[in-house]
Structure 1
Amino acid sequence: MVLNLYPWLLPDYEKIRQTFLNGRGHHALLLRSESGIGTEQLAKATANLLLCQHINAAQKACGQCHSCQLFRAGSHPDFYLLAPIENKDIGVDQVREISEKVSQHAQQGGNKVVYLQGAERLTENAANALLKTLEEPRPQTYFLLQSDISAALPATIYSRCQPWVIHCPSTQKAAQWLMEECTASAQDIAIALRINYGRVLSARDCLQGEMLQKRLILFTQFWRFYQRKDPLELLPHFDKEIIFQQLDWLISFLSDALKARLNISQHWLNTDFSKAVNQFAERQSAASLLRAYRIMQNIRSDLATINGVNQELILLDGLSKLLINKETA
């Protein structure tokens, strides 16, 4: 019985399962993938397999033993989650606390599993502390590290793990799954997959959260902002809950506009807004569009990295720079 696995993750799960059945299972697995495809489910299914006390005849987690029941209830004493707290990096104290716990005997008498979610968020000191544990693995102790495929990890950590690259499902398989999960049209599903770079769960959330409509409103208001030159008019249309997604939409819009200005017709993201993109591009030079693209990237970067600063101030400053750039084009 495989724990809540999305169909596109089953092949990777089977490969991982076989490595343990064949005696080649590593004490530290590194699962690298794009976000938004459910890799955390793969990590938990693997943890369930390692913690099960009675592997069934099919050599899979039985789902019935006390250990499986504890795990599925979220209360297994030998399963440890190590993850960023309140969007902060994973600190050395968190790693030391987990290392201390796994140095003790398993309470259920079997394996111990540490699931490190967001391994790229380890601080330097935390990574060094983890390295010591990985270099001298305890018996019956396993580490499942999950990281964004685009993020860099310390080479020392990477070299102590068995890497697994988890890919997005094909567009066809993703679209088929979304057709079964959502009530959206085939056209909207295609758009959601495209603007989410094939990340199927992100596309599902996009469709279920009416993000396509919110994207339309934002693009419309962004166009008006450029015409009316009033940042305060655009500011209320940013939603704190999805602000990074909104900024990604605008960055992609400016990227497409730059491509249009340079007569590049390939690899557009917002093909459903091609007319608006072309009209926007016609009014500015390529140099101005490139500067606007970089300004928008800087807004996103500042919001992601600067703590304790009012979001509206960063947005207002960035939008004002966009207008200055437009006037000097």
Structure 2
Amino acid sequence: MPERPQALFAMTPENLPLVFPPQVLARLRESVDIDPALVAQDFSAPGVADVLARAEILVTGWGCPRLDAAVLDAAPKLRAVLHSAGSVKGLATPELWRRGIAVSSAAVANAVPVAEYTLAMILLAGKGVFDARDRLRTERAFPGWGLVPGIGNHGRRVGVIGASRIGRKVIELLRPFDLVPTLTDPYVDEAGAAALGVPLLPLDDLLRTSDVVTVHAPETPETRHLIGPRELSLMPDGAVLINTARGGLLDHDALIAELRTGRLSAILDVTDPEPLPAESPLYDLPNAFITPHLAGSQGNEVARLGLAVVAEAERVGAGQALAHGIAPSELERMA
């Protein structure tokens, strides 16, 4: 049996047993030589430096220190960084790619619960569930049987902003339903949209023609306040805006002003700032549904991230290319 490559955990120690519960950890240790009792938060800490010097693989996660030149100088054998979370922007530096170190992320695994949350919110919003629940809670009386005009998911138009991993997963999950998705993304051409099975529209046209708009773009200097007062004004009366990406993609002052008119509704799992200040009107506006950044992996979903890392570690051990490797050119387009 070939010798297992030396590996080192680098993350917040409290998260390790959640991301790598016993069965997942056992499978990881079949592929790599790693000590779950040694978790680096400081690469110069006693005991860490010796292992780092021998490590071929870093298994990173939330809380991993930044991997700058000094850290990499202390890890001369390092050949792969396997990140057990989504974005690597907090830890990755260009020095990794300059040294030929492969980097992968569990973003594809984390996309699953975010897309599931988004699908659930699209369907619930289409049925008018949030307004109906609030009315029932206030009036304490069942309105009686009868058809409710203006709700339903048959033919409802869903505009997806961003063909990110999550945006693509949302499009995939929408297929079994009688919904009509469209896409806007400056990095996708007509052929790419056709491969996803959706029409490609300019942002303004998507906003004008969507009953539900769901945001899955990265926050960059160019996309800051991507949805502002002009964009909100384009959305049709009764439309719903969903954001599970980054709070800064929406101009919250403009959104609050629009919500106060009652013309639109918003479902926000992310806000700007995060968390919202206690005095934010978004807590009390009846057409704003706020959740505390929980669309991503939570509870038993977190182990899916660990399994994604295990699969990548197995590929490294077998001399295969990473399935979810990240190129430096992708960073500017990633969350």
Q: TM-score, normalised by structure 2?
A: 0.33
Task: State the structure with more CA Rg.
Answer: 1
Higher relative contact order (CA 8 A, sep 6+): 2
Q: TM-score, normalised by structure 1?
A: 0.33
